[in-house]
Structure 1
Protein backbone atom coordinates (compact mmCIF):
# COMPACT_ATOMS: atom_id res chain seq x y z
CA UNK A 1 0.00 0.00 0.00
CA UNK A 2 1.17 3.54 -0.69
CA UNK A 3 2.66 5.44 2.22
CA UNK A 4 0.42 8.23 3.43
CA UNK A 5 2.68 11.03 2.26
CA UNK A 6 1.69 14.08 0.18
CA UNK A 7 5.11 13.96 -1.48
CA UNK A 8 4.58 10.38 -2.62
CA UNK A 9 1.25 11.29 -4.18
CA UNK A 10 2.71 14.44 -5.78
CA UNK A 11 5.53 12.58 -7.55
CA UNK A 12 3.22 9.79 -8.66
CA UNK A 13 0.84 12.32 -10.17
CA UNK A 14 3.68 14.20 -11.83
CA UNK A 15 5.02 10.97 -13.34
CA UNK A 16 1.59 10.18 -14.77
CA UNK A 17 1.29 13.61 -16.34
CA UNK A 18 4.76 13.51 -17.89
CA UNK A 19 4.96 9.90 -19.00
CA UNK A 20 1.46 8.61 -19.59
CA UNK A 21 -0.25 8.49 -22.95
CA UNK A 22 -3.61 8.28 -21.20
CA UNK A 23 -6.49 10.63 -21.83
CA UNK A 24 -7.25 13.51 -19.49
CA UNK A 25 -10.09 11.47 -17.98
CA UNK A 26 -7.78 8.50 -17.37
CA UNK A 27 -5.23 10.76 -15.71
CA UNK A 28 -7.96 12.29 -13.55
CA UNK A 29 -9.22 8.88 -12.43
CA UNK A 30 -5.70 7.70 -11.58
CA UNK A 31 -4.91 10.91 -9.71
CA UNK A 32 -8.11 10.70 -7.67
CA UNK A 33 -7.40 7.02 -7.04
CA UNK A 34 -3.93 7.83 -5.71
CA UNK A 35 -5.33 10.53 -3.42
CA UNK A 36 -7.95 8.16 -2.03
CA UNK A 37 -5.50 5.31 -1.58
CA UNK A 38 -3.02 7.60 0.19
CA UNK A 39 -5.82 8.61 2.55
CA UNK A 40 -6.75 4.99 3.26
CA UNK A 41 -10.10 5.39 1.51
CA UNK A 42 -12.02 3.48 -1.13
CA UNK A 43 -15.08 4.35 -3.22
CA UNK A 44 -18.45 2.74 -2.64
CA UNK A 45 -22.11 3.40 -3.43
CA UNK A 46 -25.60 2.63 -2.17
CA UNK A 47 -29.02 2.82 -3.83
CA UNK A 48 -31.95 4.50 -2.05
CA UNK A 49 -35.08 4.20 -4.17
CA UNK A 50 -34.28 6.07 -7.36
CA UNK A 51 -31.16 7.70 -5.89
CA UNK A 52 -27.65 6.36 -6.30
CA UNK A 53 -25.42 7.73 -3.54
CA UNK A 54 -21.63 7.64 -3.87
CA UNK A 55 -19.31 7.86 -0.89
CA UNK A 56 -15.81 7.15 0.36
CA UNK A 57 -15.06 4.92 3.33
CA UNK A 58 -12.06 3.36 5.02
CA UNK A 59 -10.43 0.70 2.90
CA UNK A 60 -9.65 -1.05 6.19
CA UNK A 61 -12.15 -0.59 8.99
CA UNK A 62 -10.91 -0.33 12.57
CA UNK A 63 -12.34 -0.27 16.09
CA UNK A 64 -12.45 3.53 16.30
CA UNK A 65 -15.33 5.98 16.17
CA UNK A 66 -17.08 6.90 12.92
CA UNK A 67 -16.66 10.30 11.26
CA UNK A 68 -19.18 11.48 8.67
CA UNK A 69 -17.94 14.27 6.38
CA UNK A 70 -20.37 16.55 4.53
CA UNK A 71 -19.07 18.68 1.65
CA UNK A 72 -20.20 22.13 0.58
CA UNK A 73 -22.21 23.55 -2.30
CA UNK A 74 -20.97 22.44 -5.73
CA UNK A 75 -18.31 20.27 -4.09
CA UNK A 76 -17.98 16.52 -3.51
CA UNK A 77 -16.65 13.80 -1.24
CA UNK A 78 -13.05 14.16 -2.49
CA UNK A 79 -12.78 17.56 -0.80
CA UNK A 80 -12.09 15.55 2.37
CA UNK A 81 -9.36 13.13 1.24
CA UNK A 82 -6.37 15.22 2.35
CA UNK A 83 -7.78 15.70 5.83
CA UNK A 84 -8.98 12.09 6.00
CA UNK A 85 -5.37 10.97 5.46
CA UNK A 86 -4.71 12.15 9.02
CA UNK A 87 -7.68 10.29 10.49
CA UNK A 88 -8.29 6.89 8.91
CA UNK A 89 -5.71 5.10 11.10
CA UNK A 90 -7.89 5.64 14.18
CA UNK A 91 -11.35 6.49 12.83
CA UNK A 92 -13.77 5.04 10.28
CA UNK A 93 -14.39 7.82 7.79
CA UNK A 94 -17.42 8.21 5.53
CA UNK A 95 -17.34 11.12 3.05
CA UNK A 96 -20.71 11.37 1.34
CA UNK A 97 -21.65 12.79 -2.07
CA UNK A 98 -24.93 14.50 -1.25
CA UNK A 99 -27.71 14.18 -3.85
CA UNK A 100 -27.10 16.70 -6.62
CA UNK A 101 -23.33 16.49 -6.16
CA UNK A 102 -20.30 14.47 -7.17
CA UNK A 103 -21.10 10.99 -8.42
CA UNK A 104 -24.51 10.81 -6.74
CA UNK A 105 -27.83 11.19 -8.58
CA UNK A 106 -28.78 14.75 -9.53
CA UNK A 107 -32.56 15.00 -9.91
CA UNK A 108 -33.63 18.62 -10.36
CA UNK A 109 -36.91 18.13 -8.49
CA UNK A 110 -35.62 16.39 -5.36
CA UNK A 111 -35.75 19.36 -2.99
CA UNK A 112 -32.53 21.05 -1.91
CA UNK A 113 -33.44 23.40 0.92
CA UNK A 114 -31.13 22.90 3.90
CA UNK A 115 -33.81 21.11 5.92
CA UNK A 116 -34.55 18.81 2.97
CA UNK A 117 -30.86 18.00 2.60
CA UNK A 118 -30.73 17.06 6.28
CA UNK A 119 -33.56 14.61 5.62
CA UNK A 120 -31.70 13.17 2.61
CA UNK A 121 -28.56 12.72 4.69
CA UNK A 122 -30.52 11.01 7.48
CA UNK A 123 -31.85 8.48 4.96
CA UNK A 124 -28.35 7.84 3.66
CA UNK A 125 -26.83 7.29 7.10
CA UNK A 126 -29.69 5.03 8.14
CA UNK A 127 -29.10 2.92 5.02
CA UNK A 128 -25.39 2.76 5.87
CA UNK A 129 -26.31 1.65 9.40
CA UNK A 130 -24.48 4.60 10.96
CA UNK A 131 -26.23 5.51 14.21
CA UNK A 132 -23.50 7.32 16.19
CA UNK A 133 -20.79 9.52 14.79
CA UNK A 134 -18.66 12.61 14.81
CA UNK A 135 -19.97 14.80 11.98
CA UNK A 136 -18.14 17.57 10.19
CA UNK A 137 -19.24 19.77 7.32
CA UNK A 138 -17.95 22.64 5.21
CA UNK A 139 -19.96 25.67 4.03
CA UNK A 140 -23.40 24.32 3.00
CA UNK A 141 -22.31 21.05 4.58
CA UNK A 142 -21.51 22.92 7.79
CA UNK A 143 -25.07 24.24 7.93
CA UNK A 144 -26.40 20.74 7.24
CA UNK A 145 -24.17 19.35 10.01
CA UNK A 146 -25.46 21.92 12.50
CA UNK A 147 -29.09 21.22 11.62
CA UNK A 148 -28.47 17.46 11.74
CA UNK A 149 -26.89 17.75 15.19
CA UNK A 150 -29.98 19.62 16.42
CA UNK A 151 -32.40 17.14 14.84
CA UNK A 152 -30.61 13.92 15.87
CA UNK A 153 -28.82 14.70 19.15
CA UNK A 154 -28.54 11.03 20.12
CA UNK A 155 -26.39 10.35 17.03
CA UNK A 156 -23.77 13.10 17.31
CA UNK A 157 -20.65 12.75 19.48
CA UNK A 158 -19.12 16.03 18.27
CA UNK A 159 -19.84 18.41 15.40
CA UNK A 160 -17.20 20.40 13.53
CA UNK A 161 -18.36 23.27 11.31
CA UNK A 162 -15.82 24.49 8.74
CA UNK A 163 -16.80 27.98 7.48
CA UNK A 164 -20.49 27.04 7.78
CA UNK A 165 -23.36 28.60 5.88
CA UNK A 166 -26.66 29.42 7.58
CA UNK A 167 -25.83 32.75 9.24
CA UNK A 168 -24.94 35.82 7.19
CA UNK A 169 -24.93 38.63 9.75
CA UNK A 170 -21.62 39.85 8.34
CA UNK A 171 -21.60 40.16 4.55
CA UNK A 172 -18.82 38.88 2.30
CA UNK A 173 -17.41 39.54 -1.16
CA UNK A 174 -19.69 36.81 -2.48
CA UNK A 175 -22.81 38.66 -1.32
CA UNK A 176 -22.03 41.73 -3.41
CA UNK A 177 -21.19 39.64 -6.48
CA UNK A 178 -24.39 37.57 -6.27
CA UNK A 179 -26.49 40.72 -5.87
CA UNK A 180 -24.82 42.03 -9.03
CA UNK A 181 -25.78 38.84 -10.88
CA UNK A 182 -22.28 37.31 -10.87
CA UNK A 183 -21.94 34.08 -8.87
CA UNK A 184 -18.34 32.78 -8.90
CA UNK A 185 -19.47 29.55 -7.19
CA UNK A 186 -21.26 28.37 -10.36
CA UNK A 187 -18.83 28.11 -13.32
CA UNK A 188 -20.61 28.74 -16.62
CA UNK A 189 -17.80 29.08 -19.16
CA UNK A 190 -14.17 27.96 -19.62
CA UNK A 191 -11.89 29.70 -17.15
CA UNK A 192 -14.60 30.05 -14.50
CA UNK A 193 -13.46 27.03 -12.52
CA UNK A 194 -9.99 28.52 -12.02
CA UNK A 195 -11.71 31.74 -10.94
CA UNK A 196 -13.74 29.70 -8.42
CA UNK A 197 -10.55 28.16 -7.04
CA UNK A 198 -8.93 31.58 -6.72
CA UNK A 199 -12.03 32.98 -5.01
CA UNK A 200 -12.67 30.15 -2.55
CA UNK A 201 -9.12 29.13 -1.65
CA UNK A 202 -6.41 31.30 -0.18
CA UNK A 203 -3.97 28.37 -0.22
CA UNK A 204 -4.48 26.43 -3.44
CA UNK A 205 -3.16 22.84 -3.52
CA UNK A 206 -1.14 21.57 -6.45
CA UNK A 207 -3.46 20.14 -9.12
CA UNK A 208 -1.94 18.83 -12.40
CA UNK A 209 -3.40 20.60 -15.44
CA UNK A 210 -5.18 17.54 -16.92
CA UNK A 211 -6.94 16.98 -13.56
CA UNK A 212 -7.92 20.65 -13.34
CA UNK A 213 -9.38 20.45 -16.84
CA UNK A 214 -11.60 17.49 -15.97
CA UNK A 215 -12.72 19.22 -12.77
CA UNK A 216 -13.76 22.24 -14.83
CA UNK A 217 -15.64 20.01 -17.29
CA UNK A 218 -17.54 18.47 -14.37
CA UNK A 219 -18.38 21.86 -12.88
CA UNK A 220 -19.70 23.13 -16.23
CA UNK A 221 -21.77 19.96 -16.68
CA UNK A 222 -23.31 20.52 -13.22
CA UNK A 223 -24.25 24.15 -13.90
CA UNK A 224 -28.00 23.48 -14.11
CA UNK A 225 -28.32 21.45 -10.91
CA UNK A 226 -26.01 23.87 -9.09
CA UNK A 227 -28.31 26.77 -10.01
CA UNK A 228 -31.31 24.81 -8.70
CA UNK A 229 -29.54 24.00 -5.40
CA UNK A 230 -28.24 27.54 -4.89
CA UNK A 231 -31.69 29.02 -5.55
CA UNK A 232 -33.35 26.54 -3.16
CA UNK A 233 -31.02 27.57 -0.33
CA UNK A 234 -31.08 31.30 -1.13
CA UNK A 235 -34.85 31.57 -1.50
CA UNK A 236 -35.81 29.52 1.57
CA UNK A 237 -35.70 32.53 3.91
CA UNK A 238 -34.40 30.15 6.55
CA UNK A 239 -31.93 32.18 8.64
CA UNK A 240 -34.21 33.08 11.57
CA UNK A 241 -35.39 29.48 11.89
CA UNK A 242 -31.81 28.28 11.43
CA UNK A 243 -30.61 30.28 14.44
CA UNK A 244 -33.44 28.98 16.59
CA UNK A 245 -32.82 25.37 15.57
CA UNK A 246 -29.03 25.32 16.04
CA UNK A 247 -29.36 26.96 19.46
CA UNK A 248 -30.79 23.60 20.57
CA UNK A 249 -27.66 21.59 19.73
CA UNK A 250 -26.55 19.47 22.68
CA UNK A 251 -23.34 17.99 21.26
CA UNK A 252 -19.94 19.69 21.63
CA UNK A 253 -19.42 21.99 18.63
CA UNK A 254 -16.16 23.27 17.17
CA UNK A 255 -16.36 26.06 14.58
CA UNK A 256 -13.26 26.44 12.37
CA UNK A 257 -13.03 29.41 10.01
CA UNK A 258 -10.45 30.64 7.52
CA UNK A 259 -9.84 34.31 8.19
CA UNK A 260 -9.39 35.06 4.46
CA UNK A 261 -12.79 33.55 3.54
CA UNK A 262 -14.35 35.56 0.70
CA UNK A 263 -17.42 33.32 0.44
CA UNK A 264 -18.75 33.74 4.01
CA UNK A 265 -17.28 36.36 6.35
CA UNK A 266 -15.29 34.70 9.14
CA UNK A 267 -16.89 37.03 11.72
CA UNK A 268 -20.09 35.00 11.38
CA UNK A 269 -18.22 32.41 13.44
CA UNK A 270 -18.68 34.69 16.44
CA UNK A 271 -22.44 34.53 15.91
CA UNK A 272 -22.41 30.73 15.71
CA UNK A 273 -20.58 30.36 19.02
CA UNK A 274 -22.84 32.94 20.67
CA UNK A 275 -25.91 30.95 19.62
CA UNK A 276 -24.74 27.36 20.17
CA UNK A 277 -24.24 26.55 23.87
CA UNK A 278 -20.59 25.81 24.70
CA UNK A 279 -19.38 26.08 21.10
CA UNK A 280 -15.73 26.97 20.46
CA UNK A 281 -14.28 29.03 17.60
CA UNK A 282 -10.88 28.63 15.93
CA UNK A 283 -9.89 31.19 13.26
CA UNK A 284 -7.07 30.16 10.90
CA UNK A 285 -4.87 32.93 9.53
CA UNK A 286 -3.99 32.74 5.84
CA UNK A 287 -6.77 30.25 5.08
CA UNK A 288 -9.86 30.76 2.91
CA UNK A 289 -13.21 29.02 2.65
CA UNK A 290 -12.09 25.38 2.67
CA UNK A 291 -9.73 24.68 5.60
CA UNK A 292 -9.75 20.90 5.16
CA UNK A 293 -8.20 21.36 1.71
CA UNK A 294 -6.01 24.36 2.46
CA UNK A 295 -4.78 23.27 5.91
CA UNK A 296 -5.63 19.55 6.22
CA UNK A 297 -3.12 18.72 8.95
CA UNK A 298 -4.14 21.70 11.08
CA UNK A 299 -7.83 20.95 10.54
CA UNK A 300 -7.31 17.32 11.58
CA UNK A 301 -5.29 18.37 14.63
CA UNK A 302 -8.04 20.71 15.79
CA UNK A 303 -10.62 17.96 15.46
CA UNK A 304 -8.47 15.36 17.23
CA UNK A 305 -7.78 17.65 20.18
CA UNK A 306 -11.44 18.64 20.39
CA UNK A 307 -12.69 15.05 20.19
CA UNK A 308 -10.18 13.94 22.81
CA UNK A 309 -11.24 16.73 25.17
CA UNK A 310 -14.85 15.53 24.93
CA UNK A 311 -14.22 11.78 25.01
CA UNK A 312 -15.88 9.83 27.85
CA UNK A 313 -13.56 9.44 30.85
CA UNK A 314 -12.20 5.92 31.32
CA UNK A 315 -13.42 4.05 34.37
Structure 2
Protein backbone atom coordinates (compact mmCIF):
# COMPACT_ATOMS: atom_id res chain seq x y z
CA UNK A 1 0.00 0.00 0.00
CA UNK A 2 1.45 3.38 -0.94
CA UNK A 3 1.62 6.42 1.36
CA UNK A 4 -1.18 7.99 -0.68
CA UNK A 5 -3.45 4.95 -0.46
CA UNK A 6 -2.81 4.73 3.31
CA UNK A 7 -3.98 8.31 3.77
CA UNK A 8 -7.76 7.56 4.03
CA UNK A 9 -7.06 4.95 6.70
CA UNK A 10 -4.93 7.34 8.74
CA UNK A 11 -7.53 10.10 8.43
CA UNK A 12 -10.27 7.69 9.50
CA UNK A 13 -8.29 6.78 12.62
CA UNK A 14 -7.65 10.43 13.40
CA UNK A 15 -11.25 11.52 12.90
CA UNK A 16 -12.43 8.64 15.10
CA UNK A 17 -9.94 9.60 17.81
CA UNK A 18 -10.84 13.30 17.66
CA UNK A 19 -14.59 12.64 17.78
CA UNK A 20 -14.12 10.37 20.78
CA UNK A 21 -12.43 13.24 22.66
CA UNK A 22 -8.91 11.86 22.65
CA UNK A 23 -5.98 14.09 23.58
CA UNK A 24 -3.28 15.00 21.06
CA UNK A 25 -0.97 12.49 22.77
CA UNK A 26 -3.60 9.74 22.43
CA UNK A 27 -4.07 10.59 18.75
CA UNK A 28 -0.30 10.51 18.27
CA UNK A 29 -0.05 7.12 20.01
CA UNK A 30 -2.87 5.72 17.87
CA UNK A 31 -1.27 6.86 14.63
CA UNK A 32 2.21 5.64 15.60
CA UNK A 33 0.85 2.27 16.72
CA UNK A 34 -0.98 1.93 13.41
CA UNK A 35 2.14 2.76 11.38
CA UNK A 36 4.17 0.21 13.32
CA UNK A 37 1.54 -2.50 13.05
CA UNK A 38 1.11 -1.89 9.32
CA UNK A 39 4.88 -2.31 8.97
CA UNK A 40 4.78 -5.65 10.80
CA UNK A 41 6.63 -4.18 13.78
CA UNK A 42 6.04 -4.02 17.51
CA UNK A 43 7.84 -2.05 20.24
CA UNK A 44 10.05 -3.61 22.88
CA UNK A 45 12.69 -2.57 25.43
CA UNK A 46 15.89 -4.04 26.78
CA UNK A 47 18.28 -3.13 29.59
CA UNK A 48 21.84 -2.63 28.39
CA UNK A 49 23.92 -2.05 31.49
CA UNK A 50 22.70 1.26 32.93
CA UNK A 51 20.78 2.11 29.77
CA UNK A 52 17.14 1.45 28.91
CA UNK A 53 16.95 0.92 25.15
CA UNK A 54 13.73 1.08 23.12
CA UNK A 55 13.45 -0.62 19.75
CA UNK A 56 11.05 -2.02 17.18
CA UNK A 57 11.17 -5.60 15.91
CA UNK A 58 9.15 -7.96 13.73
CA UNK A 59 5.84 -9.03 15.22
CA UNK A 60 6.48 -12.38 13.57
CA UNK A 61 9.93 -13.86 13.04
CA UNK A 62 10.62 -14.87 9.43
CA UNK A 63 13.09 -17.26 7.84
CA UNK A 64 15.43 -14.57 6.60
CA UNK A 65 18.44 -12.42 7.43
CA UNK A 66 18.42 -9.75 10.11
CA UNK A 67 18.50 -6.02 9.35
CA UNK A 68 19.49 -3.44 11.97
CA UNK A 69 18.38 0.15 11.32
CA UNK A 70 20.28 3.07 12.87
CA UNK A 71 18.62 6.50 12.73
CA UNK A 72 20.22 9.92 12.47
CA UNK A 73 20.74 12.85 14.84
CA UNK A 74 17.59 13.99 16.62
CA UNK A 75 15.58 11.19 14.98
CA UNK A 76 14.25 7.89 16.30
CA UNK A 77 13.29 4.34 15.44
CA UNK A 78 10.01 5.39 13.80
CA UNK A 79 11.90 7.07 10.96
CA UNK A 80 12.26 3.55 9.59
CA UNK A 81 8.69 2.22 9.73
CA UNK A 82 7.80 2.96 6.10
CA UNK A 83 10.98 1.31 4.84
CA UNK A 84 10.51 -1.61 7.23
CA UNK A 85 7.01 -2.15 5.85
CA UNK A 86 8.65 -3.17 2.57
CA UNK A 87 11.04 -5.63 4.24
CA UNK A 88 9.49 -7.40 7.24
CA UNK A 89 7.99 -10.15 5.06
CA UNK A 90 11.51 -11.22 4.09
CA UNK A 91 13.78 -10.00 6.89
CA UNK A 92 13.87 -9.78 10.67
CA UNK A 93 14.05 -6.03 11.25
CA UNK A 94 15.31 -4.20 14.33
CA UNK A 95 15.00 -0.40 14.48
CA UNK A 96 16.83 0.95 17.53
CA UNK A 97 16.44 4.17 19.48
CA UNK A 98 20.07 5.11 20.07
CA UNK A 99 20.95 6.41 23.56
CA UNK A 100 19.92 10.04 23.82
CA UNK A 101 17.10 9.58 21.31
CA UNK A 102 13.46 8.52 21.10
CA UNK A 103 12.32 6.46 24.07
CA UNK A 104 15.81 5.32 25.13
CA UNK A 105 17.84 6.66 28.07
CA UNK A 106 19.02 10.25 27.63
CA UNK A 107 22.14 10.52 29.76
CA UNK A 108 23.96 13.80 29.19
CA UNK A 109 27.40 12.45 30.16
CA UNK A 110 27.29 9.15 28.26
CA UNK A 111 29.59 10.04 25.35
CA UNK A 112 28.19 10.60 21.87
CA UNK A 113 31.18 10.83 19.55
CA UNK A 114 30.90 8.48 16.59
CA UNK A 115 33.32 5.99 18.13
CA UNK A 116 31.36 6.08 21.42
CA UNK A 117 28.12 5.37 19.60
CA UNK A 118 29.68 2.43 17.77
CA UNK A 119 30.39 0.88 21.16
CA UNK A 120 26.84 1.64 22.35
CA UNK A 121 25.45 -0.17 19.29
CA UNK A 122 27.78 -3.12 19.90
CA UNK A 123 26.46 -3.48 23.45
CA UNK A 124 22.86 -3.23 22.26
CA UNK A 125 23.29 -5.87 19.55
CA UNK A 126 25.03 -8.17 22.02
CA UNK A 127 22.12 -7.78 24.45
CA UNK A 128 19.70 -8.59 21.62
CA UNK A 129 21.76 -11.69 20.65
CA UNK A 130 22.29 -10.34 17.13
CA UNK A 131 25.63 -11.71 15.98
CA UNK A 132 25.31 -10.92 12.26
CA UNK A 133 23.12 -8.51 10.32
CA UNK A 134 22.76 -6.15 7.40
CA UNK A 135 23.15 -2.62 8.75
CA UNK A 136 21.44 0.51 7.47
CA UNK A 137 22.12 3.97 8.81
CA UNK A 138 20.97 7.48 7.99
CA UNK A 139 23.06 10.65 8.51
CA UNK A 140 24.73 10.28 11.93
CA UNK A 141 23.53 6.67 11.83
CA UNK A 142 25.30 6.28 8.48
CA UNK A 143 28.62 7.32 10.02
CA UNK A 144 28.01 4.93 12.92
CA UNK A 145 27.17 2.13 10.46
CA UNK A 146 30.35 2.73 8.45
CA UNK A 147 32.57 2.76 11.55
CA UNK A 148 30.76 -0.27 13.00
CA UNK A 149 31.42 -2.17 9.78
CA UNK A 150 35.14 -1.32 10.07
CA UNK A 151 35.30 -2.19 13.79
CA UNK A 152 33.17 -5.36 13.82
CA UNK A 153 33.28 -6.63 10.20
CA UNK A 154 32.54 -10.22 11.22
CA UNK A 155 29.11 -9.08 12.42
CA UNK A 156 28.12 -7.23 9.24
CA UNK A 157 26.75 -8.89 6.10
CA UNK A 158 26.38 -5.62 4.20
CA UNK A 159 25.86 -1.94 4.92
CA UNK A 160 23.64 0.75 3.42
CA UNK A 161 24.52 4.37 4.15
CA UNK A 162 21.70 6.84 3.55
CA UNK A 163 23.16 10.38 3.30
CA UNK A 164 25.88 9.53 5.83
CA UNK A 165 27.72 11.95 8.08
CA UNK A 166 31.45 11.69 8.67
CA UNK A 167 32.84 13.36 5.54
CA UNK A 168 32.06 17.03 4.98
CA UNK A 169 34.56 18.13 2.34
CA UNK A 170 31.73 19.62 0.30
CA UNK A 171 29.84 22.02 2.54
CA UNK A 172 26.06 22.25 2.78
CA UNK A 173 23.44 24.85 3.68
CA UNK A 174 23.48 23.50 7.24
CA UNK A 175 27.14 24.42 7.70
CA UNK A 176 26.42 28.02 6.71
CA UNK A 177 23.48 28.26 9.13
CA UNK A 178 25.30 26.67 12.07
CA UNK A 179 28.27 28.98 11.49
CA UNK A 180 25.83 31.89 11.84
CA UNK A 181 24.51 30.46 15.12
CA UNK A 182 21.30 29.02 13.66
CA UNK A 183 20.89 25.22 13.83
CA UNK A 184 17.60 24.13 12.19
CA UNK A 185 18.16 20.54 13.40
CA UNK A 186 17.54 21.50 17.06
CA UNK A 187 14.00 22.87 17.57
CA UNK A 188 13.77 25.40 20.37
CA UNK A 189 10.29 26.91 20.04
CA UNK A 190 6.95 26.58 18.29
CA UNK A 191 7.33 26.41 14.52
CA UNK A 192 10.90 25.09 14.60
CA UNK A 193 9.95 21.46 14.01
CA UNK A 194 7.96 22.35 10.91
CA UNK A 195 10.99 24.26 9.68
CA UNK A 196 13.22 21.23 10.41
CA UNK A 197 11.04 18.97 8.27
CA UNK A 198 11.05 21.45 5.40
CA UNK A 199 14.82 21.80 5.66
CA UNK A 200 15.65 18.09 5.90
CA UNK A 201 13.08 16.61 3.51
CA UNK A 202 12.50 17.41 -0.13
CA UNK A 203 9.51 15.06 -0.33
CA UNK A 204 7.82 15.61 2.99
CA UNK A 205 5.26 12.91 3.89
CA UNK A 206 1.81 13.86 5.12
CA UNK A 207 1.74 14.37 8.91
CA UNK A 208 -1.63 15.44 10.44
CA UNK A 209 -1.48 18.46 12.75
CA UNK A 210 -2.17 16.65 16.06
CA UNK A 211 0.76 14.29 15.39
CA UNK A 212 3.03 17.09 14.21
CA UNK A 213 2.29 19.02 17.41
CA UNK A 214 3.32 16.13 19.64
CA UNK A 215 6.45 15.51 17.55
CA UNK A 216 7.40 19.14 18.01
CA UNK A 217 6.83 18.98 21.77
CA UNK A 218 9.08 15.93 22.00
CA UNK A 219 11.80 17.57 19.90
CA UNK A 220 11.78 20.75 22.02
CA UNK A 221 11.87 18.68 25.22
CA UNK A 222 15.01 16.95 23.89
CA UNK A 223 16.80 20.22 23.19
CA UNK A 224 19.42 19.85 25.94
CA UNK A 225 20.52 16.32 25.04
CA UNK A 226 20.41 17.19 21.32
CA UNK A 227 22.80 20.08 21.94
CA UNK A 228 25.17 17.72 23.78
CA UNK A 229 25.02 15.13 20.99
CA UNK A 230 25.47 17.69 18.21
CA UNK A 231 28.52 19.13 19.97
CA UNK A 232 29.97 15.64 20.37
CA UNK A 233 29.48 14.91 16.66
CA UNK A 234 30.97 18.26 15.68
CA UNK A 235 34.01 17.62 17.89
CA UNK A 236 34.27 13.89 17.15
CA UNK A 237 37.83 14.18 15.81
CA UNK A 238 39.66 14.64 12.57
CA UNK A 239 37.74 13.82 9.40
CA UNK A 240 40.93 12.22 8.07
CA UNK A 241 40.75 9.66 10.90
CA UNK A 242 37.21 8.76 9.88
CA UNK A 243 38.26 8.30 6.25
CA UNK A 244 41.21 6.16 7.31
CA UNK A 245 38.96 3.99 9.48
CA UNK A 246 36.36 3.29 6.80
CA UNK A 247 39.07 2.17 4.38
CA UNK A 248 39.11 -0.98 6.49
CA UNK A 249 35.47 -1.85 5.80
CA UNK A 250 35.60 -5.25 4.04
CA UNK A 251 31.88 -5.80 3.45
CA UNK A 252 29.76 -4.61 0.50
CA UNK A 253 28.52 -1.06 1.06
CA UNK A 254 25.80 0.85 -0.78
CA UNK A 255 25.84 4.65 -0.47
CA UNK A 256 22.43 6.19 -1.24
CA UNK A 257 22.13 9.97 -1.32
CA UNK A 258 19.31 12.38 -2.03
CA UNK A 259 20.59 15.04 -4.41
CA UNK A 260 18.54 17.79 -2.72
CA UNK A 261 20.14 17.20 0.68
CA UNK A 262 20.58 20.51 2.51
CA UNK A 263 22.04 18.89 5.63
CA UNK A 264 25.06 17.11 4.07
CA UNK A 265 26.15 17.80 0.49
CA UNK A 266 25.46 14.84 -1.81
CA UNK A 267 28.83 15.30 -3.55
CA UNK A 268 30.47 13.75 -0.49
CA UNK A 269 29.11 10.40 -1.76
CA UNK A 270 32.07 10.20 -4.13
CA UNK A 271 34.47 10.47 -1.21
CA UNK A 272 32.78 7.62 0.64
CA UNK A 273 33.03 5.44 -2.45
CA UNK A 274 36.70 6.38 -2.88
CA UNK A 275 37.42 5.40 0.73
CA UNK A 276 35.43 2.17 1.09
CA UNK A 277 36.83 -0.68 -1.06
CA UNK A 278 33.64 -2.62 -1.93
CA UNK A 279 31.24 0.27 -2.28
CA UNK A 280 28.92 1.74 -4.86
CA UNK A 281 26.66 4.78 -4.90
CA UNK A 282 23.17 5.75 -6.04
CA UNK A 283 22.14 9.41 -6.24
CA UNK A 284 18.40 10.03 -6.05
CA UNK A 285 17.00 13.10 -7.79
CA UNK A 286 14.30 15.12 -5.99
CA UNK A 287 15.08 13.49 -2.62
CA UNK A 288 16.46 15.21 0.47
CA UNK A 289 18.24 14.01 3.60
CA UNK A 290 16.17 10.89 4.37
CA UNK A 291 15.55 8.61 1.35
CA UNK A 292 14.08 5.87 3.55
CA UNK A 293 11.35 8.32 4.63
CA UNK A 294 10.88 10.12 1.31
CA UNK A 295 11.15 7.11 -1.01
CA UNK A 296 10.74 3.95 1.10
CA UNK A 297 9.75 1.58 -1.72
CA UNK A 298 12.66 2.63 -3.91
CA UNK A 299 15.06 2.50 -0.97
CA UNK A 300 13.95 -1.06 -0.14
CA UNK A 301 14.32 -2.16 -3.76
CA UNK A 302 17.80 -0.66 -3.94
CA UNK A 303 18.72 -2.78 -0.90
CA UNK A 304 17.26 -5.96 -2.41
CA UNK A 305 19.07 -5.39 -5.70
CA UNK A 306 22.29 -4.57 -3.87
CA UNK A 307 22.43 -7.69 -1.73
CA UNK A 308 21.38 -9.76 -4.75
CA UNK A 309 24.33 -8.39 -6.72
CA UNK A 310 26.66 -8.89 -3.73
CA UNK A 311 25.89 -12.63 -3.64
CA UNK A 312 26.83 -13.18 -7.26
Q: What's the TM-score once normalised by structure 2's chain length?
A: 0.97
Separation in 1, partners of 2:202, 2:177: 18
Separation in 2, partners of 1:176, 1:135: 31
Separation in 2, partners of 1:89, 1:60: 9
Q: Within the alignment, does 1:17 sit opposite 2:14 as a pair? A: yes
Q: Within the alignment, does 1:44 sit opposite 2:41 as a pair? A: no
Partner SS state of residue 134, structure 1? strand
Partner SS state of residue 35, structure 2? helix
Query: In angstroms, what is the RMSD of aligned CA positions?
Result: 1.0
Question: Counterpart in 2 of 1:189?
Answer: 189
Question: Counterpart in 2 of 1:169?
Answer: 169
Contact kept? 1:163, 1:257, Cα under 8 Å: yes
Single out whichever of 18-27 and 173-182 deviates more from structure 2: 18-27
Counterparts of 1:1-315 in structure 2 under 5 Å? Answer: 6=3, 9-20=6-17, 21-311=21-311
Contact kept? 1:9, 1:34, Cα under 8 Å: no
Shift of 1:99: 0.2
Separation in 1, partners of 2:69, 2:161: 10
Partner SS state of residue 75, structure 1? coil
Separation in 2, partners of 1:216, 1:7: 23
Contact kept? 1:255, 1:269, Cα under 8 Å: yes
Separation in 1, partners of 2:75, 2:198: 15
1:131-179 CA-to-partner distances (Å, cap 9, x unmatched) read 0100000000000000000001111111000000000010000000000
Separation in 1, partners of 2:281, 2:4: 31
1:225-271 CA-to-partner distances (Å, cap 9, x unmatched) read 00000001101223111000001100000000000000000000000
Separation in 1, partners of 2:177, 2:126: 39
Partner SS state of residue 95, structure 2? strand
1:28-70 CA-to-partner distances (Å, cap 9, x unmatched) read 0010011001100000010112210000000000110000000
Contact kept? 2:132, 2:157, Cα under 8 Å: yes
Separation in 1, partners of 2:226, 2:280: 31
Unaligned runs of 5+ in 1: none
Contact kept? 2:63, 2:91, Cα under 8 Å: yes
Shift of 1:7: 5.0
1:197-225 CA-to-partner distances (Å, cap 9, x unmatched) read 00000000011110000000000000000
Separation in 2, partners of 1:36, 1:18: 19
Shift of 1:5: 5.4
Partner SS state of residue 267, structure 1? helix
Shift of 1:8: 5.8
